[in-house]
Structure formats: structure tokens, C-alpha cells
Structure 1
Amino acid sequence: MTMNERKMIDLEQGWEFMQKGITKLKNILEGLPEPQFSSEDYMMLYTTIYNMCTQKPPHDYSQQLYDKYREAFEDYITSMVLPSLREKHDEFMLRELVKRWTNHKVMVRWLSRFFHYLDRYFIARRSLSPLNEVGLTCFRNLVYLELNGKVRDAVISLIDQEREGEQIDRALLKNILDIFVEIGMGQMDYYENDFEDAMLKDTAAYYSRKASNWILEDSCPDYMLKAEECLKREKERVSHYLHSSSEPKLLEKVQNELLSVYGNQLLEKEHSGCHALLRDDKVNDLSRMFRLFSKIPRGLEPVSSIFKQDSFGSMLQHVTGEGTALVKQAEDAASNKKEPDSVGLQVFVRKVIELHDKYLAYVSDCFQNHTLFHKALKEAFEIFCNKGVSGSSSAELLATFCDNILKKGGSEKLSDEAIEETLEKVVKVLAYISDKDLFAEFYRKKLARRLLFDKSANDDHERSILTKLKQQCGGQFTSKMEGMVTDLTLARENQTSFEEYLGNNANANPGIDLTVTVLTTGFWPSYKSFDLNLPVEMVKCVEVFREFYQTKTKHRKITWIYSLGTCNLIGKFEPKTMELIVTTYQASALLLFNTADRLSYSEIMAQLNLTDDDVVRLLHSLSCAKYKILIKDPNTKTISPTDSFEFNTKFTDKMRRIKIPLPPVDEKKKVIEDVDKDRRYAIDASIVRIMKSRKTLCHQPLVMECVAQLGRMFKPDIKAIKKRIEDLISRDYLERDKDNPNLFRYLA
């Protein structure tokens, strides 16, 4: 039939028909015996609505049907849903709510289909809420708003039961919390305001109660185990039933109550805190501590500062204790023997290295190389490593330690790998020492002795540590030392060509075996030269070598340093002839006795042309020490200017070949003087560099920049910088401002 002939449906009659369908749907939802909807039933209901909405006005009932749609829900909720919920409590109420919500969504879906035509045309034109939303809003306004407080309390109570170890129905909680989310229709406001806020408050209160007991009863490791377990459980809770957006807020609450509130108390526990864990090498507990505290904002600061004060304090006390004991031994030995006990000092350095190894392992294994802990380690070691021991600075001790490892027959008997590893560690410790320039100077002096007296055990190790030092301190630091090592290689080649020269020139015969080591002045420490009157036998040698060297280069000047030479002499004694290994100085003194039986102190001094100090050391080594090659008159243990000496023809020893040591001069004073001089130059250069780029600068920033520039090699003394500024003003590099004496100007 055509549109006009269609039978008009009035509102009462049409709605009565719709009401039957809605009742059938309610019965199905309530579980009453009711046949399912067939497609004809569905089509009839759909068409009825369609027809009632497409009749000509005033019979277009769209608005009335829209209102009746809402009323259908309100009526059902008021008559059936709310009474069934109000009579139930706790978990039973929650189950009922989940069931009612599920049914409600089914009802919304079906009714929205029946009333579909309204959604498509009427609502779109009038900008009204879609049917789906109207249906959900009914539930929200009537059911949710009345019950959400009770529901929330029931859920929180179940969560707390679960925290106490009881089994709960997690699926039920998940379904309930989904209601809080879905009621928001895309917004999280209902979940957050009506459930989450209270749940977080309850969580804080719950863990606050727990923590206040645990902190009294448990050791720090046990407490941390519990805390870690709680955090793990709360994370699981989120994955089982809370909304994922709750995770960070929840963990933050738990961390705050368990860790932030009791952090310091926990870390400072007397027998089990950070302090004790470090002392007893509890690596797992320390790692757990780091894991827990690294999650809290600024949480690592107390751990780090305890690590620094407490643990390092205790550790450093511990090591300082051992170190001090060693120092004391060394100092006692020094007062008894008049020289420091070098073995004690070496052990001390070894202990510092071991200590550093231990803590570096903590920083990397327990504290995941976190910068805060590297900083703590650095600060603690800087305090400790710059103290010095028994009158020796750490810079000197470290250089001596290297010397012992690198020289032949040093006290450290190590494999190649162990040597490499130890050198690596020494360079790490050097990083904490503020006087790196002092280390460099001591190291260079010792390196020179190793190289010149053939004491170096292995060229590769010598080069290897220079590479490590270069990486740590820069090329300038090692350039002279690298030059020294290269010099020796060149010197060996030079010696070979000298021997060839002698072979080819029959008339060039030095008369004795001669080995000359030619060095480049700039690389090596400064040595005294031109001080000795050579014996005739040796003058010839020097001349022959000079002629040879002229053939190689005309532009270089040779300066002889006799204080570094050695000689092998044949001593003809009555019991037997022996070979004596002596220094050039000692040899020159002994050769005087070939032409004289007896010589006075002053005669020896005049003939050799040496200073008092040198002559005393020399004669002492030959007449008062282990081997008495000369007889001294009077026979006392000290040398004085009135003594006289004669050759000891009766001298003998069970060995055929003996080495007569000349006691080394204590170079410490000279090293320190040299370094001080170099520092003055360095400060001058730094001030001029800064002023040249700035042109004018006030006193304070100039000093600060100077300290910053030089800090890599040494900590410049503020007084010294002031002195150098004055000196540069007097030398017209800078001038003071006429109006402001604190302001300096650069004079080009």
C-alpha cells in the first residue's frame, strides 16, 4: 500500500505494542521462561517506531518516543534493579551490580536497535544525546550515584584482605572497576574521583601502618626485601584489576610510605644499614637498595651521601686505620733506620688500589654506574688520596709503586697480565690526586734511572703505561717521557755505529771498552755536568767519541754527565784479583791510587774537582760501607776533612765480581723545587692567556679561571696566584686600573 493509505498509529496504541516487546526483553534478562526474539518480532518493533516517527505532524511522535525510551529504563531500574541491589551487601552486592550492569548494557543495545530510526534522524537534527548515552546515563544517575560509595568501600576492603594474604575474586573486582571506567563514557573522572583517590589514601595508610612496625622489627636487608615484594605485588594488582593509569600513582604511594618516610632511618640502621652492608660486602642487598631508592625522586641522594660519609667514612677509617698502622711502621722504621720503610709504603698503595677496586665494583655492579655514586666515590677518594704518608706525598708514593712494578727485580713479582692490570688501576687512582705534575716529575726521575741503568724489566710495559697516562692526563703530560724511551732506542743504534767506526779506524782506539748513551737534553731531568777532573785513561775515550760524533753531526754539542756513568775496574789485591763495578766518580777516585799509596781528603778533593758533598759520599762508599777498598785513618764511621786514605791491598770477598753502591742522593727536595718552579711558569702562562683573551678582568674571576685552567695538573695555591699577578705587573704584562685596584688590564 502507498504511504497515504498506511494506517495511522496513535501514541497509546503504538506504545502499548512497544511495551510488550520491552517486557519480553526484561523477562529474558531476569531469566524468566520466555521464547527468544525472532527476526519477525524484531522487524515488527523496528517498523512500529519507524512508522510512528514518519507520520505527518501532528502525528510524528519522535519527541514523545525519545522521552518514553528513557522512561522505560527509569521504570525498570526503579522497580527491579535498585530493590535487588539494596537488599545485598559486600561481595554479594558487588556480584549483583556486575550482573545488573551487564544486563543493562544488553538492554541498551536491544532498545537502541528498536528505536534506531530516532538515532539516525531525529537526534542528529536536534543535537540531542544518542540513545546509547541516554540509557547509560539512566543507570549512572539512578544506580551508580546511589551506590558508588558502598561499592568503593567494599572493593577497598577486598584489596586490603588480599594484601593480608587472603584469596579474593579478582575477576569480580576487575568487572566492578570497569563499571567506574565505563560510566565515565570516555572520561576517567568517575574512576579517579569516586574510587582511585580513596584507594590511594587507603594504600598509604595501610603501608604506613606496616612500615612503622617493620622499621622497628626488621634489619635493613629484611625490610628492603619486604618493600621490594610489596612493590611487585602492587604492580601485579594493577595488571589483574586496577586501571593501568593507576600504576604510577599507586607505586609512588607505596614507595613514599615504605622508603621516603623511613629512608634515612633505614639506611642508617646500626647493624644492618648501608654502612654495614658496605662493610660486609653485601652485594645483593646493596643492589636491592639501589633498585629501590633509584625509583624515588631524589631517593639516591641519601644513599649516595651515606655511601660517601658513612660507608666511605667507615671504609676509609678502616683503610686509614690499616694505612696509618703501615705509616706508623714506616715511621718507626724511619726513626730506627733513618730511612722510610719502602715496603710498608708499597703495601699501603696496594691497599688503596684494592679499596678502589672494591668500591668501583660496587658502583658498577650494585649501583649500575650511576653518576651520583661515581661522584661519591670520587669525592671520598680525593679526600683520602691527597693526604700523603710518612712525609711522602701520594704523588711520590704512586710513582715509587710504579717504579717497583716496572724495574727488574722490583718487589712486585707479577705476570704480564697482572702488571698491565695494576698499571691500569694506578692510573685510575692517579685521577684522584691533585698534584699530577708532582707525580709526573717523580715518575720521570725514576723512569730515567730505570732507562739509564738498564733497570727496566720490559719496554712494552713502559710504553703501555705512558699510553694510559696520556689518555688520562693528556699528551703534554707524557711527551718528555715518551721522548726518553725513544732516546734509548736511538742511543743503542748510535752505539752500534760507534763500534763500527772503531772497527774501521785502526788509530781510533779508546784503550778501554766504551759505551756511550746520547740523550736529548729537553726530555731528561737536569743533571750536573762538567764537574769531574777525568783521569788520563778516560780523557782519551772522551776524545775518541767526540771525533766519531763529529762525523755524524756538526750542529750538536755534547755535554758529558759523569754522575750517571758506571765503570768496571780490575782490582789487583794480594788474596786475589777481583772485578769492581763502580760509578765513574768512584772509579776516578780509585785510579788516583795507581800513582800514590796514601792520599789526604784535601788532595783527593783537589784532584777530582768535586764538591764536599760529593767527595764525602764517594769516600764513605769506598772506606766505611760494606766493601772497604780504601783504609781510612782514623778508623771511624764518618768522613772528615782531616782523614787520609790508602789502598787496602788485603781486601778480599768470596765473590769474584762485586758492585760497590754509591748511596743515591735524596732527589725529593730537588723534585719539589723543580715542580714549584714549573708551577710558577704555568701560573704566569695561564694568567697571560686569560688576560690576553679578556683584555680586562677583576681579581676574583681571574683567580677562579686560573684555578680552573690549571686544575687538571695541580691545585694552584691562591696566594701563589696573587704573587704571580704582582710579578707580572712589575714586568709590565698587566697593569692595575687607576680607579679600581681590583681590576687588571692586559698590556700587549
Structure 2
Amino acid sequence: MTMNERKTIDLEQGWEFMQKGITKLKNILEGLPEPQFSSEDYMMLYTTIYNMCTQKPPHDYSQQLYDKYRESFEEYITTTVLPSLREKHDEFMLRELVKRWSNHKVMVRWLSRFFHYLDRYFIARRSLPALNEVGLTCFRDLVYQELYSKVRDAVISLIDQEREGEQIDRALLKNVLDIFVEIGMGQMEQYENDFEAAMLKDTAAYYSRKASNWILEDSCPDYMLKAEECLKREKDRVSHYLHSSSEPKLLEKVQNELLSVFANQLLEKEHSGCHALLRDDKVDDLSRMYRLFSKIPRGLEPVSNIFKQHVTAEGTALVKQAEDAASNKKADKRDVVGLQEQVFVRKVIELHDKYLAYVNDCFNNHTLFHKALKEAFEVFCNKGVAGSSSAELLATFCDNILKKGGSEKLSDEAIEETLEKVVKLLAYISDKDLFAEFYRKKLARRLLFDKSANDDHERSILTKLKQQCGGQFTSKMEGMVTDLTLARENQTHFEEYLSNNPNANPGIDLTVTVLTTGFWPSYKSFDLNLPAEMVKCVEVFREFYQTKTKHRKLTWIYSLGTCNINGKFEPKTMELIVTTYQASALLLFNASDRLSYSEIMTQLNLTDDDVVRLLHSLSCAKYKILNKEPNTKTISPTDYFEFNSKFTDKMRRIKIPLPPVDEKKKVIEDVDKDRRYAIDASIVRIMKSRKVLGHQQLVMECVEQLGRMFKPDFKAIKKRIEDLITRDYLERDKDNPNTFRYLA
């Protein structure tokens, strides 16, 4: 038949036909013996709906069918589904629910296909909920709403059983929780509000009970093991049946109850807390502590504080140990104290190695722990030992490593490594400029007295210092090392000059080291009255040097010179290695047998201090080249001296030491002077760019600028400001005396 002759289907008869199909579907779902739908059955049902929706009004039954679609579900749920669920409890109820939900979804899928025509036209035009949604909403409003709280409690009770170590059916829980997610139709509200919130609350209560027992019974490491295990299990739980969005919330609850609540009690546990773990080098436990505490807000702060206290205490103990050793050894002062100080620096290096490894390995290189280590070392590295500042100790330590026959016998690699570590320690020292000055003084001695063991090491540590402290820190020292290379070339030229001008030769072997004034420490240059033999040398060299350059002035530093002279004693002739001063004094005795203190002083043109040291070294010390009357251990202005012709020694060559001058005072004075200039320059630099600045601000910026080299003292800055005002670099504001202006 053609389209318009199609027989009109009325609602009753059409629905009756549909109802048969729906009943067949229900039977299949209930597992009753019922043949499956054939494609003809399906097509007939689909076409019936199609026809009933496309008949001319008043026979278009779209709205009525839409309602009946919903009523089919409601009727099925009320008569079949709910009764079967209400009679079951606990796990059985959960299984039934999973089965019913699964069936319900199948039913929705089939009926939506039968009624498909409604979805395409009717619903779209009226913007009504789609068939699929209507089907799911029925289940939500009738089944889920009635049961979810019982379901939730059953699930939570199973989770707690599992926490207590019982085996449970995880797949069942996964399926039940999927219902909470799916029933939200793309939203998570049902899962979060109807299940998750209560589950989290229960979790917190569960772990709160556990933790309050464990904290009393367990040591800190045991407690941490349990906590770590619990966190691992909860993570596992999420992957097996909870929704992945629960993971952060769940772990947060567990961490809070196990760690945050008991953090202090745990860290401070008497014999097993953080202090004890550090004391006993429990590396694994400390790593675990880091892992756990890094998860809770601000959890690492107390750990890093304890770490800092611990390292500070260990370092301070080393300082005290070194102090005690030094005061016990006061009797035989010089040598032993030097060794003690070496040992002390070694121990500080070892301490740093040890705890830096902790920061890298246990504490995952975390900045908080680097900061703690730095602050701890800054505390005791700036204490100094037995009247020597750390700056001086470090410089001496380097000197011992770098000079020939130093107390440390190390391979090249070990030297490199040790220097690397010393430079690391320097970072913690606030008076870097003081270190630089001591280092430079000692470097000068190594270079000038040929004491340096190896040029490569000298240059290598300068490179390290340059990286750590910047170019200006090392520029003078680099200049010193270069000067020596140039001086060697210069000496070669001088020797060539002498061989080309035989008349000029003074008849004495002469080595001259020419240095650049700006690079080297300042040395006193006295006009020592040189013996005639030496005057000739000086003149020859001056003539040679003028052939090379016209515009440089040579200043001779006799205090740094050495001479080898022959002493003709009655037992045998011996070679004496002496300083230029000592040589000049001894040569006086070629012309006189006996000289008074004042005669020697006048002839040499030296100060009292120098003459006393000199004569002491020749007449009262190990080698008595001169006899003194009266024969006492100290030199006084009324003494007389004569050549000791009977002197002898088993050696052919002897070195007669001159007691070293204590340079410490001079170094400290020099550094203080440099600091005054540095503060002046900094203040002027700041004021020039800022024009007007308050006192507080100026001091702060000045400290900030100079901090890399030294920690300027507030009083010193204040004094320099006053000084700059009197010198008209700055002025005080008329109205506000605490504000300064720059005067161009």
C-alpha cells in the first residue's frame, strides 16, 4: 500500500504490541527461557514506534510514547528490582546491585533503540532529556537514592576489613564504585558527596586510631616504615577500585593523620628521632624521613632545622677540640700548633664531605638542606682557633699543601681534590679579603724562596678561587705567578748580558727577581748599608736593566734576599746560607775582630728591631757564628760581638734561620685599611646612582655590595659616612638628618 493509505495505529493497540517486546526483554534479563530478538522482531518494534510518531494529528503519539518509555522503567524497578535488593544485605546486596545496574544499562540500550525515532526528532525539537538519560535517571531516583547510604557503609566496612589484612573482593568494590561515577552522567558529584566524603572521614579516623598507638610503642624508624607501607597500600587501593581522582585526597588524609599530627613527637623521639638518626649515621632512615616529610606542608622545615643544629654542634665540637689541643700545646708553641691547625682544617673538610653527601643522597639535593648546611658551617667556620682566624687557618692549610716538603704527602689528584674542598669552605667564611691577604703573603714566600712544589697546582687553585670569588679577588695573585715566569726570562737575559760584557761581571753569582709593585704585598725597603762586594752587584744589575727599559724605577728589597757565603773557621771552611741582612753583618767581621752593638747598628743603618733579630740569630740561636759578651740568651745595646773562629758542625752547608716576623698584625692592619677604602667607594657608588638616600637604606645597600668579600661592621660604615661628609662627598639633609645627599 502507498504512504497515505497506511492504516492508522491507535495508541492502545500499538502499545500492546510494544509491551510484548518489552516483556520479552525483561524475561531475557531475568534469565528466563526466552529466544533472543531476531532482526525482524527488532525492525517490527522500531517501525511501530516510527509509524506512531509520524501519523497526522491527532494520531501523533510522540509525547505519550515518551511518557510510556519512562513508565516502563519505573514499573520494572518498582515491581522487580527494588524488592530483590531490599531483601539482601552487605556484600550480597552489593552483588545484586551490580547485577541490577548492569541489566538496567542493557535495558536502556535496547529500549533507546526501539524508541530511537523519538530521540531524533521529538526530543530535539522540545529540548527534552534524551532517552538514555531518562532511563538512567529512573534508576538514580528510585534505586540509587534509596540505597546509596547503605551501599556506602557496606563498601567502607569492606575497605576497613582489607586494611586489617582480610582478603576482600576488590573487583566487586570496583564495580559498585563505578555505579557512583556512572550515575553522575559525566559529573563527579554523586561519587564525591555520596561516597568519597564519608570514606575520607573514615580513613582519617582509622589512621588516627592507629597512629596514636604506634607513636607510643614504636621507634621513629619503625613508625616511618609503617607510615610508608600504609601510604603505599592506600595508593594501591586507588589503583584497584577507587576513582583516580581520590588519590591525592586520600593520601593527604593519611599523611595528615600519620605524619602532620605527630611530626614533632616523631622527630624529637628520645633515642630514635632525627637527632639520633644523624648521630648514628642512619642513612636509609633519614632518606625515608625526607621522603615522608617532603609530602606534608612545611614538613621539611623542622627536619632541616634539626640537621642544621646537628651539623653546627659537630662543627663547634671540632673547634673546641682544636682549642683544647692548642692550649695543651702552648708550651712547645710553634710546630705542634701548626700541625693541630692542619688537623682541624682536615676534620672540617671531612665534616663537610660527610654532610654534603647527606644533602645530596638522603635529602635529595633540596635547597632547604643546602641552606641549613651553609648556615651551620657559617657559624663555626667563622670562629677561628687559638687566636687564628679561619681565614688565616685556611691560607696556612693551602700553604702546607702547596709548598715543597709541606706536612701533607699527597698525590696530584688528592691535592686537586683537597684544594677544591678548601675553596668550598671559603664560601662560608665572611672575611674572604682577610684570607686573600694571608694567602697572598704566603704565596709570595713560596714563590720568592722557591718553596712552591708545583706551578700547575698554584694556577689551579687560583682558577678555583676566581670562580668562587670573582676576578678581582685573584688578579694580584695571578700577577704574582706570572711575574715569576717573567723574572726567570729576565735572569736568563742578565746572564747573557754578563757573558757578553766580561768587564761588568761582579765576580759574584747574582740572581735578581724583578717584581711588579702593584701585585705583591708591600715590603719595608730600608737603605741597608750594603757591603762593598754587594754594592758592585747592584750597580751591574741596574746598568743591565737600563738597557731593557728606561722608565722603571728599581727598589731593592734586601729583607727578602739570601746569600751563600764561605765561613773560614779553624776546624774547616763551611758554606753558610743566610739572609742579605745576616750576610752584611757577618761581612763586617772581615774588617774588625770585635764590634759593639751600636757599631754594628750604625754600620748597617738598620732599626733596633732588625739588629736584635739579626744578632740573636747569629750568636744566641742554634749556630753560634758570633761570640757575645756577656754570654746571655738575650741581646742588649751594651753587648759586644766577635767572630767565633772555633765554630764547626758536622754538615758542610748550614742554613742559619732568621726568626720569622709575625706578619699577622701587619696583614690585619692592611686589610683594615683596604676595607676603609672599599666602604668609601661603595658608599660613593651607591649615593652617585641614588642621589638621595636614608641612613638605614644606605647601610643596607653597602652591606649587600661588600658582603661577597667581608661583613662590614655597622660602626665602621657610620664612621666612613661621617668622614665622607667632612670631605664633601655627601651632605646631611637640612630637614632630616637621617637622610644624605650626594654632592657631585
TM over 0.5: yes
- Deviation by residue 1:366-414 (Cα, 9 ceiling, x = unmatched): 1121111111111111111111111111100110010011001111111
Question: 2:117 matched to which residue of 1?
Answer: 117
Moved more, 510-519 or 116-125: 116-125
Q: 1:1-80 to 2 correspondence within 5 Å?
A: 1-80=1-80
Q: Normalization by structure 2: what TM-score?
A: 0.97
1:510-568 per-position Cα deviation (integer Å, ceiling 9, x unaligned)? 12110000000000000011331101111111111111111111100000000000011
Deviation at 1:332, TM superposition (A): 7.0
More moved, 273-282 vs 598-607: 273-282
Q: Secondary structure at the match of 1:4?
A: helix
Query: Relative to structure 1, is the Cα distance of residues 370 and 328 closer, same or farther in structure 2, using a 3 angstrom cutoff?
Result: closer
Deviation of 1:328 after TM superposition, in Å, equals 6.8
Moved more, 98-107 or 527-536: 527-536
Q: Percent same amino acid at aligned positions?
A: 93
Q: Is the 8 A contact 1:438 1:675 kept in 2?
A: yes
Q: More displaced, 99-108 or 620-629?
A: 620-629
CA shift digits 1:594-617 (9 cap, x unpaired): 111111111111111111111111
Give me the whole-angstrom Cα distance separating, in 1, the residues matched to 2:399 and 2:637: 37
Residue 6 (structure 1) shift: 2.2
SS in 1 for 2:578: strand
Assess, with a 3 A threshold, how the Cα gap between structure 1 residues 536 and 321 changes in structure 2: closer, same or farther: farther
- Asked whether the 8 Å contact 2:565–2:583 carries over to 1, the reply is yes
Aligned partners of 2:555, 2:689: CA distance in 1, in Å?
Answer: 41
Residues 1:352 and 2:348 are matched in the alignment: yes
Instruction: Report the Cα offset of residue 344 of structure 1.
Output: 6.0
Name the CA shift for 1:303/1:604 in 2 (closer, same or farther; >3 Å): same
699-708 or 44-53, larger mean C-alpha shift:
44-53
- Seen in structure 2, the aligned counterparts of structure 1 residues 322 and 357 have a Cα distance that, compared at 3 Å, is closer
Q: 1:297: how far off?
A: 2.2
Cα gap change, 1:610/1:501 in structure 2, threshold over 3 Å: closer, same or farther? same
Q: Which runs of 5+ in 1 are unaligned?
A: 309-316
How far did residue 365 of structure 1 move?
1.1
Q: What is the Cα deviation at residue 318 of structure 1?
A: 8.2
Change in Cα spacing, 1:730 to 1:591, as seen in structure 2 (3 Å) is: same
Q: 1:102 to 1:332 in 2, by over 3 A?
A: closer
Structure 1 pair 69/517, CA: closer, same or farther in 2 (3 Å)? Answer: same
CA contact (8 A) 2:275 2:310 kept: no
8 Å CA contact 1:62–1:118 kept in 2: the answer is yes
Tell me by how many angstroms 1:145 deviates. 0.2
Q: Secondary structure, in 3 states, of the residue corresponding to 1:658?
A: strand
Structure 1 position 333, deviation (Å): 7.4
The question of whether the paired residues in 2 share the 8 Å contact of 1:330 and 1:344 is answered with no
Q: In structure 2, do the counterparts of structure 1 residues 81 and 344 end up closer, same or farther at CA, with 3 Å as the change threshold?
A: farther
Contact kept, 8 Å, 1:330 with 1:342, in 2: the verdict is no
Task: For 1:45 and 1:320, locate their aligned partners in 2 and report how far apart those are by CA, in whole Å.
Answer: 86
Q: Which moved more, 1:50-59 or 1:509-518?
A: 50-59
| 8 Å Cα contact 2:316-2:380 kept in structure 1 | no
> Displacement, 1:319?
8.0
Q: 1:76 to 1:326 in 2, by over 3 A?
A: closer
Deviation for aligned residue 1:325:
7.7
CA distance, structure 2, for counterparts of residue 402 and residue 73 of structure 1: 91
Q: 1:539 to 1:332 in 2, by over 3 A?
A: farther
Distance 1:326 1:43, change over 3 A: closer
Asked if structure 2 preserves the Cα contact closer than 8 Å seen for 1:530 and 1:559, the reply is no
- Structure 2 SS opposite 1:343: helix
Q: CA distance change for structure 1 residues 177 and 337 in 2, over 3 Å: closer, same or farther? A: closer
Structure 1 residues 90, 12: closer, same or farther in 2, change over 3 A?
Answer: same
Q: Is the 2:318–2:348 contact (alpha carbons within 8 Å) kept by the matching residues of 1?
A: no
Contact 2:692–2:739 (CA<8 Å) still a contact in 1? yes
1:409 match: secondary structure: coil
Mapped partners of 1:318, 1:74: distance in 2: 71
The worse-fitting range, judged by mean Cα deviation, of 276-285 and 555-564 is: 276-285
Instruction: From the superposition, tell whether residues 322 and 455 of structure 1 become closer, same or farther in structure 2 (CA, over 3 Å).
Output: farther
Contact 1:200–1:253 (CA under 8 A) maintained in structure 2: yes
Q: Distance in 2 between matches of 1:319 and 1:625?
A: 46
Q: State the alpha-carbon separation in 1 of the partners of residues 736 and 259 from structure 2.
A: 55
In structure 2, relative to structure 1, the CA distance for the partners of 1:212 and 1:331 (3 Å cut) is closer
Provide closer, same or farther for how the CA distance between residues 589 and 344 of structure 1 changes in structure 2, counting only shifts above 3 A.
Answer: closer
- Asked whether the 8 Å contact 1:91–1:154 carries over to 2, the reply is yes
In structure 2, C-alpha distance between the alignment counterparts of 1:710 and 1:67, rounded to whole Å: 85
Give the 3 Å change call, closer, same or farther, for CA 328–255 of structure 1 in structure 2: closer
- For residues 150 and 329 of structure 1, the distance between their equivalents in structure 2, rounded to whole angstroms, comes to 70
331-340 vs 465-474, which deviates more? 331-340
Q: SS of 2:424's equivalent?
A: helix
The CA distance in 1 between the partners of 2:725 and 2:470, in whole Å, is: 31
Q: Give how far 1:4 is off.
A: 3.1
The whole-number CA distance in structure 2 between the counterparts of 1:434 and 1:68 is 88
Following superposition, the deviation at residue 60 of structure 1 comes to 1.5
The whole-number CA distance in structure 2 between the counterparts of 1:465 and 1:540 is 40
Which residue number in structure 2 is paired with residue 206 of structure 1?
Answer: 206
SS of the counterpart of 1:454? coil
Q: Tell me: CA distance 1:421–1:649, structure 2 relative to 1, closer, same or farther (3 Å).
A: same
Change in CA separation of 1:688 and 1:475 when aligned onto 2, cut-off 3 Å: same
Does the 8 Å CA contact 1:623/1:629 hold for their aligned counterparts?
yes
Runs of at least 5 residues in structure 2 that lack an aligned partner in the other structure: none
Q: Following superposition of structure 1 onto structure 2, how do residues 439-518 of structure 1 map, counting pairs within 5 Å?
A: 439-518=435-514
Alpha-carbon distance between aligned partners in 1 of 2:425 and 2:370, rounded to the nearest angstrom:
13
Q: How many residues align?
A: 740
C-alpha contact (below 8 Å) 2:363/2:369 kept by paired residues: yes
Q: C-alpha deviations, 1:626-657, integer Å up to 9, x for none? A: 11111111111111111111111111111111
Instruction: Answer whether contact 1:331 1:341 (CA < 8 A) is retained.
Output: no
Instruction: Summarize the Cα distance change of 1:652–1:344 in structure 2 as closer, same or farther, 3 Å threshold.
Output: closer
**Deviation at residue 5 of structure 1 after TM alignment:** 2.5
Distance in 2, Cα, partners of 1:369 & 1:329: 30
Match in the other structure for 2:292 = 292
Q: Say if 2:318 and 2:347, in contact at 8 Å, map to a contact too.
A: no
- Looking at structure 2, the residues matched to 418 and 264 of structure 1 have their Cα atoms a distance apart, in angstroms, of 42
Say whether the 8 Å CA contact 2:419–2:461 is kept in structure 1: yes
1:524–1:616 CA distance, 2 compared to 1 (3 A)? same
Structure-1-length-normalised TM-score: 0.97
Contact 1:330/1:341, CA 8 A, preserved across alignment: no
**Relative to 1, partners in 2 of residues 1:657 and 1:155: Cα closer, same or farther, differing over 3 Å?**
same
**Distance in 2 of aligned mates of 1:271 and 1:737:** 62
Report how far residue 678 of structure 1 moved: 0.3
SS, match of residue 599 in structure 1? strand
**Which of 621, 638, 643 lines up with 1:647 in the alignment?**
643
- CA gap of 1:341–1:387, structure 2 versus 1, over 3 A, is farther
Taking a change above 3 Å as real, the CA distance of residues 375 and 328 of structure 1, as seen in their structure-2 partners, is closer
Shift of 1:255: 1.1
Deviations 1:75-109 (A, max 9, x none): 11111111111111111110000000000000001
